[in-house]
A and B are shown apart, each in its own frame.
Chain A
Amino acid sequence: MSSALASLAVVLLVAPVLPGLIARTKAILTGRRGQPVLQLYSDLGRLLRKGAVYGTATTWMFALAPVVVLATVLCAALLLPLDGRAALIRFSGDAVAFAYVLALGRMALVLGAMDTGSSFEAMGASREATVASFAEPALFLALVVLAVLTQSLSLSGMLGSRLVPGVEGFRMAAAAPFALVAVTLFIVLLAETARVPVDDPATHLELTMIHEVMILDHSGPDLAFLLYAGAVKLALFGSILVGVVVPRASLAPWLALGLLVGGLVVVAVLIGVIESVTARLRLTRVPQLLVAAATLAALGVILVLR
C-alpha cells in the first residue's frame, strides 16, 4: 500500500520530465540545442498563475473538459500497479475500467473542442475519435494476451512478473506473445499520446493537427491541466510497457520504483528517436498502422489460445 502510494506520487511528480526528454532527444538528433528538459514545469507554473480567455461560443462544457481529462487520467493512475506489485484500486476487469475512464476524458475533450464552434477544433475532435476507434481494439487484444498469459483479469496481475527469462514461472512459449504485445502497446502508446507517426505535436499548421488543435483555444489553468494530463497519460502508458517488459514484483520497492523511472526515461528517449527519424503518416494511413498493431496482438491471442 505505502509503496503503491509512493510510486504514484513519484510518477505524478516526474511525468512532466518525459515530454522534455523527448524534445531534448529530438533536438540532439537534429543538431539543435533545444529547450531545457524541465521546461514543462516552468510552463505549468506560469500557466497556473495566469488568467484565462474563453471563446464567445463556449459554454461550461469547454471549461469542464480539462478538469475531466485530468481527473480521468489521475483515476486511471489508481488502477496501475506502478510499484510492480499491486495497484491502489484493483478488481476483476480493472483493465477495462482503465481504458473506459480514459475514454471518458476523451469524450469530454472532444465535446470541449466542438464547443468552440470552430471547424479546426472539430476537425481535430473528429480525428481523435477516429484514431481512438482503431487504437481501442488493439489495446484490448493486447490485454487479452496478457490476461491469458498471467491468468489474471486485473492489471495488477497482468503487469509485473513471470514474463522474462530467468524469472520464476517463465515459459518459453510465452516469449513470442509478449514480444508481440510489447510492440502493439508501444504503437497504442504513440496513438494515445498523440506522437509521431500518428500525430505531430510540433506541427504548426492547424489543418494537420489532431491533439494540438483540440486544445488550441484553452488557456491559463485549463491549458496547464491539459498539458499535465498529457504528460501523466504518457507516463501511464509508459508504465504499462515497462510493466510488460520488466518484471519487478520480487524486487525491493525502491529498486522497482527506480526501474520504473529508468524505464520511462528509455521510453521517452525511444519516442524522441522515432520522432526524429520518421515522418508523420498521412491521416488516411494512420488506421492502417493501428490495424497492423491490432493484427500483431491478434496473432498473440492466437498463439496463447492455441
Chain B
Amino acid sequence: MTLLFSGLFLIGLGALAAWLLEGRSRASGALFQVLAVAGCALGGGAAVRVLLGTPAVQIRYHAQVLGGDWVWGLDALSAAFALAVFVVGAAAAVFGVAYLAAETRHRRVGASHAFVGLLIVAMALVVTARAAIPFLIAWEAMALSAYFLVVFDDTQAGVRRAGLIYLVATHTGTLALLALFALWGGRSGSFEFDRMMAADLSGALPSVLFGLALVGFGVKAGFVPLHFWLPEAHPAAPTHVSALMSGLMIKTGVYGLLRVITMLPGAVAPWWGWTLLLLGLASGVLGVLWAMVQHDLKRLLAYHSIENIGIILMGVGLGTLGMAYGRPPLAVLGFSAAVLHSVNHALFKSLLFFGAGAVARATGTREIERLGGLARRMPVTWIAFLIGSAAIVGLPPLNGFVGEWLLYNGLFSSALSPAATPVRFAVWGAAGLALIGALALACFAKVGGVVFLGHPRSPHGREAREVGPGFLAPMIALAILCVVMGLFPYAAVGLAWPAGALVAGLSPGSAAQIGFHAILGLRALWLFTLAIPAVAVLLWVLRALLLRRRAVARGPTWACGYAATTPRMQYTGSSFVAPLVAAYRGVVGLEVRRAPGSFTTEPIDRVLEHVLLPAWRAVLDVSARVRTLQHGRLNLYLVYMLVTLLALLVWLYAAGTGAGIRP
C-alpha cells in the first residue's frame, strides 16, 4: 500500500506542478510527464506485486467524520483494474502534454494537465477504496475532474452541450449510488465494505441493492440504454482525455458492479445474471451497429466503447449466472473474461484514440470521409492503429482475442451443464458474440481502409505529416502491450484469473483447481498464437525469395478500362457499410437528408434523440404550463397562501379529523 500511495502522491505532485507552473508551459509539461510516469510506475508495481501473489493488503485511517473509518485495500480485483489505470494513465499523461502543446489559443493547458493527474489518482482510489465514504468522494472527484477535462474547449457550443449531458448523467448515477450505500450501510450499521459484506441481508433487499448498483454503475459504464452521454462527451474531450474516459473511466462502472457482486456472494439471483447478459448482448450489437455509421472518427470509437462494455457485461452476466446456479467454473470463466477484456479494452481503445488524435492533429479533421492515404504519410501511426484495430476486433494473435476466447469458453461450457439447468441457455450469447465480432471487423476495415489506405480524399490528407515522438511513444508502448499480451496468453489469463476467482467467491486454492483444465489448454493456445506470426514470417521470406530475380513493376490500379480515375471516385466509408446499413435499417439510426443536388446522411443516437430528449421536452412543456402561476408579485403569492390555507381548513372540516381545531 505504501508503494501505491507514494505513486499517487507523485502523480498528485505532478498535477500540482503543472497547475502552478502554468506560465512556463514546456517545463511544467515535462515535469508533469516525468512525475506522472514515475508515479504510475510505482502504483503499477504495487498492483503487479499483488497479482504475482503477494497477499492482499489493507490500510485503515481513523476518520474523525461521519461514516466511520476510511479503508483502502488492494486485492486481485482492485489490482487488475489499478494496473490498467496506471498503464493507460501514464500513456495518456505523456500523450496529453504533446497533444496540448499545439494548443496556442488556450491558456489553461496547465490546469488541464492537473485535472488529468487528479483523474488518474481518483480512479486509482475508486478501485482501491474499501469503505463507502472514501469511495463516493473518489467517485465524485473522478466524475468532476472528467467534466472539467471534457469542457476544455468550452468556446464551442457542442462541447458545452456534451459537458452538460455528461454532468446530468453522471449525477443521476451518483444519486443511485448514494441510495445504494445508504440502504446497505443503514442495514449493516457500517460503511466499511467488509462489514457491509458480512451484514445479514434478507428478502428482496439484495435484489434492490443490485438494481441500484446496476443503474448507478451502469450510467458510468455506459451500456445501452444508459450510454447516451458517452458518444457526446468522449469525442468532445481532448484526445488523451477521451482515451482516459473510454479506456478507463467507464471501467470503474464495471469494477463497481463486480465489487458489489463480490460483496453479495450468497444472495446472487438468476435474474441478475440474465439481465446482465441480455443488456451486454444488446449493448454489444447496438454499439457496433451505431459505430459503423459514424462519420466522426472519435465518435465512432466512442460507440465501440459501448460495444466493448457490452462484451464485458456479457462476461459479468455469465459469471453471475454461474454463481446463481452453483457452477463455479462458469463463474470464474465469466468474471475473469470480464476483467481481462476490461484491461484489454483499456489498452487498445486508448491506443486507437491516440491514433485518432494524431490523425486529427496531422490533418486538422476527424471526418472519415475527408481522409485517405495516410498510411504513406504517417506510417508509425498507421501500424499502431492497425494493431489496435485487429486487437479490438478480437483477432489472434493479439490481446483482444485472449479475452474473447475466455468468454467463448465460458459461454460454450454453459451449454455442457447437466440437462435441466437453465444456465445452458447462456450459450446463445456465443452466436451474439460472433455477430458482434464480425460487425466490428467490418467497421474497423472501413476505418483503416478509408482513413489510412488508398488516395487522400481532400487536401487535409495530402499535407499530413507524421506526428512527433510525444505522440508516438505512448502509441508504440500500448501497441507492444497488445501484442505481448496476445502472444503470451498465459500471462494475460493469469492477470485476470485471480480476480475472477475472487468475485466468484472462491479461495485461491480451489480456483487453481478449476482453472487447471483451461490452463492446460492455454499451452496449446500459446503454441497456436506463436504459430501465426511464425508462418507469416516464413511465407514473407518465401515471397521475397520468389520475387528476388523477377521483374517487379508499378502500374495503375485496374479501373475496368476507365483511364481517368480521381481520388474522389474511391469508395467512401458510407458506401463501405451501406450493405450492412441496409440489412439493419431499423436500428442503425441513420437520418438521410435529400435536397436538390445534395445528399447527406447524419447518424443520430436513437436513445438520446428519440427517447430522452423528447421526454425532457415533455417535462419542460409541463413545467412551462405550471410556470404561468409564477408572476413574481408578492400580493399574488399572498393570495395563493390564503387560498391554500382556506382550502386546507375546508378539507379538515369536511374530513372531520382535525379534532384540535374544530370550530
| Chain A residues within CB distance 8 Å of chain B | 48-59, 61, 63-64, 66-68, 70-72, 74-75, 78-79, 89-97, 99-101, 103-104, 106-107, 110-111, 113-123, 125-127, 129-130, 132-137, 139-141, 143-144, 147-148, 151, 153-154, 206, 216-217, 220-222, 225, 283-284, 287, 294, 298, 301, 304-305
Query: B395–A140 contact, CB under 8 A?
Result: no
Per the 8 Å Cβ criterion, residues 303-340 of B in contact with A are none
**Residues from chain A with Cβ under 8 Å of B579 in the complex:** 126-127, 130, 283-284
Query: A96–B405 contact, CB under 8 A?
Result: yes
Given A67-B540, A126-B579, A130-B579, A52:B445 Cβ within 8 A = no
Query: A216–B558 contact, CB under 8 A?
Result: yes
B527 interfacial contact with A, CB 8 Å: yes
**How many chain B residues touch the partner (CB < 8 A)?**
88
Given A75-B531, A122-B576, A117:B412 Cβ within 8 A = no
**Residues from chain B with Cβ under 8 Å of A140 in the complex:** 430-431, 433-434
B158 interfacial contact with A, CB 8 Å: no
Per the 8 Å Cβ criterion, residues 505-543 of B in contact with A are 517-518, 520-525, 527-528, 531-532, 535-536, 538-540, 542-543
Query: A221–B441 contact, CB under 8 A?
Result: no
A sample of 21 inter-chain contacts (CB < 8 A) reads A51-B551, A63-B543, A89-B531, A94-B524, A95-B412, A96-B409, A101-B395, A107-B393, A111-B449, A115-B453, A115-B454, A116-B454, A117-B454, A118-B557, A123-B575, A126-B577, A132-B438, A144-B412, A144-B427, A144-B430, A298-B431
Whole-angstrom distance between the Cβ of B535 and the nearest chain A Cβ:
4
Given A52-B552, A71-B539, A107-B393, A89:B532 Cβ within 8 A = no
Residue of A74, A92, A103, A116 near B395 (CB, 8 A) is A103
Residue of A58, A104, A127 near B532 (CB, 8 A) is A104
| Chain B residues within CB distance 8 Å of chain A | 372-373, 375-376, 386, 389-390, 393-396, 401, 404-405, 408-409, 412-413, 415-416, 424-425, 427-428, 430-435, 437-439, 441-442, 444-445, 448-450, 453-455, 517-518, 520-525, 527-528, 531-532, 535-536, 538-540, 542-543, 546-547, 550-560, 565, 567, 569-571, 575-580, 582-583
Whole-angstrom distance between the Cβ of B582 and the nearest chain A Cβ:
7
Whole-angstrom distance between the Cβ of A226 and the nearest chain B Cβ:
12
Q: CA–CA, A116 to B543, complex, Å?
A: 20
Query: B528–A125 contact, CB under 8 A?
Result: no
Q: CA–CA, A216 to B559, complex, Å?
A: 10
**Residues from chain B with Cβ under 8 Å of A144 in the complex:** 412, 415, 427, 430-431
**Residues from chain A with Cβ under 8 Å of B528 in the complex:** 75, 78-79, 89, 91, 94, 97, 101
Whole-angstrom distance between the Cβ of A283 and the nearest chain B Cβ:
7
Residue of A63, A122, A153 near B412 (CB, 8 A) is A153
Whole-angstrom distance between the Cβ of A286 and the nearest chain B Cβ:
9
Q: CA–CA, A235 to B408, complex, Å?
A: 26
Whole-angstrom distance between the Cβ of B588 and the nearest chain A Cβ:
13
Query: A67–B427 contact, CB under 8 A?
Result: no
**Residues from chain B with Cβ under 8 Å of A287 in the complex:** 583
Query: A153–B413 contact, CB under 8 A?
Result: yes
**Residues from chain B with Cβ under 8 Å of A148 in the complex:** 415-416, 427
Q: Which residue of A lies closest to B561 (CB)?
A: A206
**Residues from chain A with Cβ under 8 Å of B531 in the complex:** 75, 78, 89
Q: Which residue of A lies closest to B411 (CB)?
A: A144
**Residues from chain B with Cβ under 8 Å of A143 in the complex:** 412, 430
Residue of A48, A120, A133, A283 near B559 (CB, 8 A) is A120
Q: CA–CA, A121 to B396, complex, Å?
A: 25
Query: B524–A91 contact, CB under 8 A?
Result: yes
Query: B424–A117 contact, CB under 8 A?
Result: no
Given A94-B528, A137-B431, A147-B416, A118:B441 Cβ within 8 A = no
Q: Which residue of B lies closest to A147 (CB)?
A: B412
Q: Which 6 A-B pairs have the closest CB atoms?
A: A114-B449, A122-B571, A91-B521, A51-B550, A117-B454, A129-B442
Query: B552–A54 contact, CB under 8 A?
Result: yes
Q: CA–CA, A217 to B556, complex, Å?
A: 10
- Report which residue of A52, A123, A126 has the largest number of chain B beta carbons within 10 angstroms of its beta carbon: A126
Query: B571–A305 contact, CB under 8 A?
Result: no
Whole-angstrom distance between the Cβ of A53 and the nearest chain B Cβ:
5
The total of Cβ contacts below 8 Å across the A-B interface reads 274
**Residues from chain B with Cβ under 8 Å of A53 in the complex:** 552-555
Given A153-B413, A305-B425, A93:B405 Cβ within 8 A = yes
Query: B543–A71 contact, CB under 8 A?
Result: no
Residue of B453, B546, B582 near A114 (CB, 8 A) is B453
Q: Which residue of A lies closest to B541 (CB)?
A: A67
**Residues from chain A with Cβ under 8 Å of B435 in the complex:** 133, 136-137
Q: Which residue of B lies closest to A153 (CB)?
A: B412
Query: B522–A91 contact, CB under 8 A?
Result: yes
**Residues from chain B with Cβ under 8 Å of A95 in the complex:** 412
Q: Which residue of A lies closest to B424 (CB)?
A: A305
**Residues from chain B with Cβ under 8 Å of A96 in the complex:** 404-405, 408-409, 412
**Residues from chain B with Cβ under 8 Å of A118 in the complex:** 557-559, 565, 570
Query: B539–A70 contact, CB under 8 A?
Result: yes
Query: B395–A104 contact, CB under 8 A?
Result: yes
Given A104-B396, A144-B412, A55:B450 Cβ within 8 A = no
Query: B393–A130 contact, CB under 8 A?
Result: no
Q: CA–CA, A86 to B103, complex, Å?
A: 60
Query: A104–B571 contact, CB under 8 A?
Result: no
Query: A92–B521 contact, CB under 8 A?
Result: yes
Whole-angstrom distance between the Cβ of A65 and the nearest chain B Cβ:
11
Query: A55–B557 contact, CB under 8 A?
Result: yes
**Residues from chain A with Cβ under 8 Å of B454 in the complex:** 57, 114-117, 122
Query: B445–A125 contact, CB under 8 A?
Result: yes
Query: A97–B525 contact, CB under 8 A?
Result: yes
Q: CA–CA, A211 to B412, complex, Å?
A: 31
Query: B555–A103 contact, CB under 8 A?
Result: no
Q: CA–CA, A123 to B571, complex, Å?
A: 7
Whole-angstrom distance between the Cβ of A32 and the nearest chain B Cβ:
27
Residue of A100, A119, A216 near B569 (CB, 8 A) is A119
- Report which residue of B405, B520, B579 has the largest number of chain A beta carbons within 10 angstroms of its beta carbon: B579
Query: A130–B543 contact, CB under 8 A?
Result: no
Given A103-B438, A118-B557, A144-B431, A92:B453 Cβ within 8 A = no
Whole-angstrom distance between the Cβ of A172 and the nearest chain B Cβ:
17
**Residues from chain B with Cβ under 8 Å of A104 in the complex:** 390, 395-396, 532
**Residues from chain A with Cβ under 8 Å of B389 in the complex:** 107
- Report which residue of B434, B518, B550 has the largest number of chain A beta carbons within 10 angstroms of its beta carbon: B434
**Residues from chain A with Cβ under 8 Å of B409 in the complex:** 92-93, 96, 153
- Report which residue of B432, B523, B535 has the largest number of chain A beta carbons within 10 angstroms of its beta carbon: B535
**Residues from chain B with Cβ under 8 Å of A136 in the complex:** 434-435, 437-438
Q: Which residue of A lies closest to B549 (CB)?
A: A51
Whole-angstrom distance between the Cβ of B525 and the nearest chain A Cβ:
5
Residue of B554, B560, B577, B582 near A56 (CB, 8 A) is B554
Residue of A50, A137, A153, A222 near B543 (CB, 8 A) is A222
Query: B375–A61 contact, CB under 8 A?
Result: yes
**Residues from chain A with Cβ under 8 Å of B524 in the complex:** 89-91, 94
**Residues from chain A with Cβ under 8 Å of B578 in the complex:** 126
Query: A67–B543 contact, CB under 8 A?
Result: yes
Given A122-B576, A144-B415, A74:B373 Cβ within 8 A = no
Query: B405–A61 contact, CB under 8 A?
Result: no
Residue of B439, B521, B550 near A220 (CB, 8 A) is B550
Given A67-B543, A92-B517, A107-B393, A59:B453 Cβ within 8 A = yes
Residue of A100, A103, A133, A225 near B580 (CB, 8 A) is A133
Q: CA–CA, A49 to B567, complex, Å?
A: 34
**Residues from chain B with Cβ under 8 Å of A130 in the complex:** 442, 579-580, 583
- Report which residue of A72, A107, A127, A298 has the largest number of chain B beta carbons within 10 angstroms of its beta carbon: A107
**Residues from chain B with Cβ under 8 Å of A135 in the complex:** 438
Q: CA–CA, A90 to B431, complex, Å?
A: 22
Further pairs besides A130-B580, A148-B416: 9, Cβ < 8 Å: A71-B532, A75-B528, A97-B396, A103-B441, A111-B449, A114-B445, A125-B576, A133-B442, A217-B558
